[in-house]
Amino acid sequence: GAGVSQSPRYKVAKRGQDVALRCDPISGHVSLFWYQQALGQGPEFLTYFQNEAQLDKSGLPSDRFFAERPEGSVSTLKIQRTQQEDSAVYLCASSLVRRGLGAGELFFGEGSRLTVL
């Protein structure tokens, strides 16, 4: 596809269940970002990849959150032992340029809406 693709679009999990959210960035995009957006809030930074390297994971809220991008394209955000406060829309964005080479535009996916019961 032409844009960033995320799956699943909607996920309902029982508290304590593990979930995995997938992001397919635009082909050739070097940078990939994950954001968490709670209801009524702006996107909150979680983590950032440049190719397969995770360069910043300072926004991950706990060690239950883990992200990977093993081949520098598709990325997976995994949340272990989900809690109700994890309920949010998880946004993935990709960018053509590397950090520091000017203002790279972020291209967003439609998001994965996670509801933890």
Binding site for another protein (CB under 8 A): 3-4, 33, 35, 40-45, 48, 56, 58-59, 91, 93, 102-103, 105-111
Residue closer to another protein (CB basis): 41 or 62: 41
What's the rounded Cα separation, in Å, for the pair 59 and 57? 5
DSSP string for 35-68: EEE-TTS--EEEEEEETTEEEE-TT--STTEEEE
Residue closer to another protein (CB basis): 25 or 111: 111
Least separation in angstroms between CB 43 and another protein: 5
Q: Tell me the one-letter amino acid at 68.
A: E
Interior angle at CA 57, CA 54 and CA 59, nearest 5: 150
Least separation in angstroms between CB 67 and another protein: 14
Least separation in angstroms between CB 3 and another protein: 8
